[in-house]
C-alpha cells in the first residue's frame, strides 16, 4: 500500500510566557485506505497533532508529508471534523449550505455542489433535513452534518477529532457504523482521535497510543479484527477484549512526561520524581471525557 501520510518527529510548543510543548517528537506513517485511531490522555496534544497535520498550526519542528510531498498550507484533499462540532457549523446557513460551503472554495460548479451535498446528506441519513438550520437539529444530527460536510469534499485524508464524543451511546454506535460503511464505500484514509479505548479498537485498523503531554507515541497496536465489525459480537470477541486491555495497560503504565512550561521535547526517558510517580497517577482516568482545549472554529477546511 502506498504511503498517504508521514509524520516525522513532529513537535509543537505553544509560545508565550507559559510556553507549553504539546507534542514532543511524534512520528508515524499511515498507508492509503487505513483507518488509524489515536488515543491518549486528556490534554496530551491530540488536537494539536491534528491541527499540525492539517497545517492549521505551524509545527515548531518536524515534518508532515502527504503522498510524499511536504505539506505547506491546508491541503485541498484533506478534510477535518473538529472536536467541537457545535462551533464548527455556521448557524446562519442551512444544512445544505453548510455542506456545500467548502465545495465553493474548491470551485466545484454550483449544480455539482448541490448534487454532492444532497447525496452525502442522504448517505449520513439526513435526507429531508437539508433546508433546516443547525440549531433546529439534535446533537447527533448536527454531528452527521459535520461528517457530511467533510465527506462531500471527497477527501483523500479525513482527520476526525473526537467526532462522537458529545452524542449519546446509541447515536455513537450508529455514527461509528456509518463511518465504517463510508470508509468501505469511499476508500478514504482516516485519522481519528478518540478518548474511548473501546471505540479505538472497534473502528481502527490500528491504534496509536500517545503519552501524556508532550505527546510521544507509546505504542502502535495493530487491530486484526477484519473489515466486518459488529457492535455486539466484535466487542465480545476475545481479540477485542485483549487489545483494549493492552491499550489500557500501556496508558496506565506510561511514564509521566513533564510538559508544563517546557521548551524541550519529550522527557519520557527521565526517572519520575517523588511527586510525579507513575504509580500515583495510575488511577487517573487516563482518558476521561474531553472538553475542547483548542480553539477550532470555522468550516471543515
**Site for ligand ATP (CB under 6 A): which residue of 123, 149, 183, 195?**
195
For the record, the C-alpha cell of 89 comes out as 457549523
**Minimum distance of ligand ATP from residue 51's CB (angstroms):** 7
C-alpha pair distances (Å), 148 with each of 42, 69, 204: 27, 27, 20
Residue 213 binds Mg ion (CB under 5 A): no
Identity of the residue, 113 or 195, whose beta carbon is nearer to ligand ATP in the bound complex: 195
Q: Which is nearer to ligand ATP, 70 or 285 (CB)?
A: 285
Cβ distance 165 to 195 under 8 Å? Answer: yes
- Give how many residues touch ligand ATP by CB under 6 A: 20
Subset of residues 68 to 127 that bind Mg ion, contact rule: CB under 5 A = 83
20 interacts with, out of ligand ATP, Mg ion, none, CB within 5 to 8 A per kind = ligand ATP
Distance CA 134, CA 145 (A): 8
DSSP 8-state code for residue 83: S
User: Could you say whether residue 20 binds ligand ATP (CB under 6 A)?
Assistant: yes
Tell me the residue length of the chain. 301
Considering only residues 66 to 105 of the shown chain, the ones binding ligand ATP according to CB under 6 A are 83
CA distance to 94, 120, 139, 274, per residue, from 130 (Å): 7, 11, 16, 57
- Dist CA 56 CA 104 (whole Å): 19
Name the residue nearer to Mg ion (CB basis): 83 or 120: 83
Residues of span 114-173 touching ligand ATP by CB under 6 A: none
Residues 6+ away with beta carbon under 8 Å from 230: none
47 binding Mg ion? (CB under 5 A):
yes
Work out which of 5, 46, 149, 216 binds ligand ATP, going by CB under 6 A. Answer: 46
- Residue 137 or residue 217: which is nearer to Mg ion going by CB? 217
Amino acid at each position: 500500500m502506498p504511503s498517504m501520510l508521514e509524520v516525522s518527529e513532529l513537535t509543537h510548543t505553544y509560545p508565550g510566557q507559559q510556553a507549553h510543548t504539546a507534542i514532543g517528537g511524534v512520528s508515524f506513517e499511515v498507508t492509503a485506505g487505513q483507518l488509524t485511531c489515536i488515543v491518549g490522555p486528556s490534554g496530551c496534544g491530540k488536537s494539536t497533532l491534528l491541527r499540525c497535520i492539517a497545517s492549521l498550526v505551524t509545527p515548531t519542528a518536524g515534518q508532515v508529508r502527504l503522498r510524499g510531498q511536504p505539506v505547506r498550507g491546508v491541503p485541498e484533499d484533506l478534510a477535518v471534523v473538529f472536536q467541537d462540532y457545535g462551533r464548527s457549523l455556521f448557524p446562519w446557513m442551512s444544512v445544505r449550505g453548510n455542506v456545500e460551503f467548502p465545495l465553493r472554495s474548491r470551485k466545484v460548479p454550483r449544480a455539482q455542489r448541490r448534487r454532492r451535498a444532497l447525496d452525502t446528506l442522504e448517505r449520513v441519513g439526513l435526507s429531508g433535513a437539508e433546508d433546516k438550520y443547525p440549531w433546529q437539529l439534535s446533537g447527533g444530527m448536527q454531528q452527521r452534518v459535520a461528517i457530511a460536510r467533510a465527506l462531500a469534499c471527497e477527501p483523500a485524508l479525513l482527520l476526525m477529532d473526537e467526532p462522537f464524543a458529545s452524542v449519546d451511546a446509541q447515536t455513537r454506535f450508529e455514527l461509528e457504523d456509518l463511518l465504517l460503511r463510508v470508509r468501505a464505500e469511499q476508500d478514504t484514509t482516516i485519522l481519528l482521535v478518540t478518548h474511548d479505548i473501546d471505540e479505538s479498537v472497534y473502528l481502527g485498523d490500528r491504534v496509536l497510543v500517545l503519552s501524556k503531554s508532550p505527546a510521544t507515541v507509546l505504542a502502535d497496536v495493530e487491530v486484526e479484527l477484519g473489515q466486518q465489525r459488529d457492535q455486539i459480537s466484535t466487542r465480545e470477541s476475545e481479540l477485542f477484549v485483549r487489545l483494549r486491555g493492552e491499550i489500557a495497560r500501556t496508558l496506565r503504565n506510561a511514564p509521566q512526561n513533564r510538559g508544563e512550561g517546557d521548551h524541550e521535547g519529550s522527557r519520557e526517558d527521565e526517572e519520575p520524581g517523588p511527586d510525579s510517580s507513575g504509580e500515583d497517577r495510575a488511577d487517573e482516568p487516563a482518558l476521561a471525557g474531553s472538553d475542547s482545549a483548542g480553539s477550532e472554529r470555522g468550516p471543515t477546511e
